[in-house]
Structure 1
């Protein structure tokens, strides 16, 4: 099997993690093997990579209500005075430059290294025209702040009835899905129940991921340790009313150290690795569970439509023959030892290209449906590409509805990729357990990586 073109993004990732994280370096190689398989199936262009489905940066996000607790905490924690738009999703990225610079949302949509890559496509699917208004919803701010070096912070906008819509809901859900750590400020739960319901539902759905830290801000007063425990316990009981039963609770008081948050932030490299490996395994399984299934259903539909049209044409031809028989007795010619075979041969010569024309016309209609279906499933793989590769000459003529490449050989390749991913997860587990034999919590991590 000839090697396909390796994405520059994957090459950079392998170089990045070669000296700092062997697990992610090997993960990049598995992504490369997955890319080669998808390129052969017509699902991926040679210069693209499935590794772009998720950000390789550790991601922290914040959720809060309308009080200034969230923004004041970020300013204290980052040691800067930020003036971000409270109605936008703001990505904070480290820069060695002393000046803070704000870039438009289109910068996020165009950069595959950042967490809102090609989000405009998803926005356009649910709200026509809004995909071109990214700057209304997103911004990128570069910050000279050591705590976020080699990390990304996504500060979500406050819940506001005048700005909440389908797009903000989609973006907030996207942020929760891709984050490794979510700081949820409890003033969020003081907002109108109707506004907060979608966010709470998302938290409940992902609460077992252990990514949520509930921050209770009392930074204006000094609290003793036992009082902080009482406040945390009270909030814990209150959140059970929302269906939230897990998560870490941290009380911030005047002069207190954010050590607990620092500990979680320091664990992000580990959390990020598990997230990437999870995305890798899902991408591999999707070939069988989603992609082959969708394309096979499309091929069945295409065959049914094409055959139906040909039956109509054949029926029309038969009617003409019967009419001719009534008029002049042409059926006797079909039984002639010389004329009969010639008529059959001429019919095949005429009907075969006609069948090809009908099939290709119906294929265009099905491809348009597949493109829409791909957007609905939020797949980066080109379903229409695999469908088109399954339209060879003999596949059009014969009753074959299995997508090209759905065979024992590729089944073995898919299983091998899944096993490699499981081995990497085990290696990550072993790396973690070997480095930590002092009964620390499962959220501690080994030394961080220097990132691009």
Structure 2
């Protein structure tokens, strides 16, 4: 008869755990199979990176760096994503409507939508608006299970996913094969943890980020907090080239004595936030613009607007090519994260700390441990010489005491191990704050189980074959890039 725990048979608990693990593995397999079918149709060149991501997943699962249902592919934008960030009334929605050729997004000078809108193609003539659950629970979208990330930084907000995200469909050829993402206005009052978490996730997933500012704001310096989030925190990224900074509604400056002073003020504000290089584009909605009395100025503004709009549209058209190269870079980045200082290196660091702390705790109990061991040694010698038998009448009682001493010493040592492990585990950042969502805390716990040796610092699963596999994945970047180059260029002429 199975032992009972909390009213549930132990065997049933094990079976439930196995079934849960199998369900997670099934979801993981479903996601990667869906990706494979999608890539076969759209971009077969990315099938090889997908296969390498699967191999990285298997290694990370064995090491405990990923939960059974998690995957590195979850952090990879397999579908091209174009995001729009900006302040209230910066013209993001108007820009999207103009690009799509239809009125999909509501527009206005005040906040008209406080949710992130994910826009994708649909063959239906009428647009639909679906709740955030449609994104959170669909394995095919890059926002799959984002509610868990929100919950990690804002307790209780994960279940309110519909308050943060919505999915909109549109029958426009401009959006076919892409995802557009419109963000709510970005101002100091909206800097909630959950909103920032989604914004960071969006930036990481995006192939192109359009950051729009409203030229009608007379004092860009007053937007210091907004500039810090939208500029300062992005210009030093490795993928900073995917950001385009756009001054919208530039036509409203035509009434100024010197419109160039307005542009110069914005350039100084962006430079003070860290944007000292890169493109600074100026656009406006020609249909919504008022008449400009100065014909020379009107022609100059229009020429600049047409040039910059063409540049933006060219970048938006090229996101599919950019994405293919980014997927390969992310494949190498995932391998580097797993094998580098932020993965295995950091895990070894925590294991060294655990060993050192355990030895310190043991040392604090050194006197009773040595005394106990000394007593056990003396007792064993006395037993060998027959002293114990003469005192106790037999050796069984003496050896029982020796065994008890050993058990006590072992209990003290393993208690020290557990105490040290718990202290260090609490200091390890959660998976949501780690690159590629690797779970160092989970992996650390797996490596400090009672049967693991104290002096073994080689993480579980990080054997020679795993190291060779990851090294091969890291070395494949050049060959994959060359194959992409052969598709889009002709270096040999």
TM-score grouping bracket, smaller chain normalisation? 0.7 to 0.9
Q: Shift of residue 345 of structure 1?
A: 6.8
Q: Shift of residue 40 of structure 1?
A: 2.7
Label 1:298 to 1:144 Cα distance change in 2 as closer, same or farther (>3 A): same
Task: Determine if the alignment matches structure 1 residue 247 to structure 2 residue 294.
Answer: no
Counterpart residue number, 1:291? 343
Counterpart residue number, 1:277? 328
Label 1:350 to 1:144 Cα distance change in 2 as closer, same or farther (>3 A): same
Q: Which moved more, 1:267-276 or 1:424-433?
A: 424-433
Choose which of 296, 312, 316 in structure 2 pairs with 1:261.
312
Counterpart residue number, 1:76? 98
Choose which of 201, 206, 223 in structure 1 pairs with 2:232.
201
Choose which of 424, 429, 435 in structure 1 pairs with 2:480.
424
Q: Shift of residue 331 of structure 1?
A: 4.6
Q: Which moved more, 1:50-59 or 1:169-178?
A: 169-178
Where does the alignment leave 5 or more consecutive residues of structure 2 unmatched? 1-24, 107-111, 288-301, 389-394
Counterpart residue number, 2:18? none
Please list the CA deviations of residues 171-224 of structure 1 after superposition, one character each: whole Å capped at 9, or x if unmatched. Answer: 333323322112232317935323323212134224963223344445879x9x
Q: TM-score, normalised by structure 1?
A: 0.78
Q: Aligned pairs, how many?
A: 425
Q: Which moved more, 1:282-291 or 1:194-203?
A: 194-203
Choose which of 44, 58, 82 in structure 1 pairs with 2:66.
44
Q: Which moved more, 1:64-73 or 1:383-392?
A: 383-392
Aligned residue runs from structure 1 range 261-410, under 5 A? 261-289=312-340, 290-311=342-363, 315-316=367-368, 318-319=370-371, 331=378, 334=381, 337-338=384-385, 346=403, 350=407, 354=411, 357-358=414-415, 361-362=418-419, 365=422, 368-369=425-426, 372-377=429-434, 379-391=436-448, 395-396=452-453, 399-410=455-466
**Following the alignment from structure 2 to structure 1, what is the Cα–Cα distance between the partners of residues 274 and 429?**
35
Counterpart residue number, 1:442? none
Q: Is the 8 A contact 1:66 1:188 kept in 2?
A: no
**Following the alignment from structure 1 to structure 2, what is the Cα–Cα distance between the partners of residues 199 and 24?**
31
Label 1:188 to 1:372 Cα distance change in 2 as closer, same or farther (>3 A): farther
**Following the alignment from structure 2 to structure 1, what is the Cα–Cα distance between the partners of residues 211 and 74?**
27
Q: Specify which structure has the bigger relative contact order, considering alpha-carbon pairs within 8 angstroms and separated by 6 or more residues.
A: 1
Label 1:181 to 1:250 Cα distance change in 2 as closer, same or farther (>3 A): farther
Label 1:267 to 1:230 Cα distance change in 2 as closer, same or farther (>3 A): farther
Q: Shift of residue 57 of structure 1?
A: 1.0
Label 1:113 to 1:356 Cα distance change in 2 as closer, same or farther (>3 A): farther
Q: Is the 8 A contact 1:55 1:113 kept in 2?
A: no
Q: Shift of residue 434 of structure 1?
A: 2.4
> Matched residue of 1:44: which SS?
coil
**Following the alignment from structure 1 to structure 2, what is the Cα–Cα distance between the partners of residues 80 and 60?**
18
Task: Determine if the alignment matches structure 1 residue 96 to structure 2 residue 123.
Answer: yes
**Following the alignment from structure 2 to structure 1, what is the Cα–Cα distance between the partners of residues 405 and 480?**
56
Q: TM-score, normalised by structure 2?
A: 0.72
> Matched residue of 2:120: which SS?
strand
Counterpart residue number, 2:31? 9
Q: Is the 8 A contact 2:96 2:105 kept in 1?
A: no
Q: Is the 8 A contact 1:295 1:383 kept in 2?
A: yes
Q: Is the 8 A contact 1:35 1:44 kept in 2?
A: yes
Counterpart residue number, 2:244? 213
Counterpart residue number, 2:299? none
Where does the alignment leave 5 or more consecutive residues of structure 1 unmatched? 438-452
CA RMSD of aligned residues (A): 4.1
Please list the CA deviations of residues 412-439 of structure 1 after superposition, one character each: whole Å capped at 9, or x if unmatched. Answer: 22111101233212322343322997xx
Label 1:213 to 1:88 Cα distance change in 2 as closer, same or farther (>3 A): same
Please list the CA deviations of residues 28-52 of structure 1 after superposition, one character each: whole Å capped at 9, or x if unmatched. Answer: 1111221222233233355542111
Counterpart residue number, 1:414? 470
Q: Is the 8 A contact 1:295 1:386 kept in 2?
A: yes
**Following the alignment from structure 1 to structure 2, what is the Cα–Cα distance between the partners of residues 431 and 11?**
25
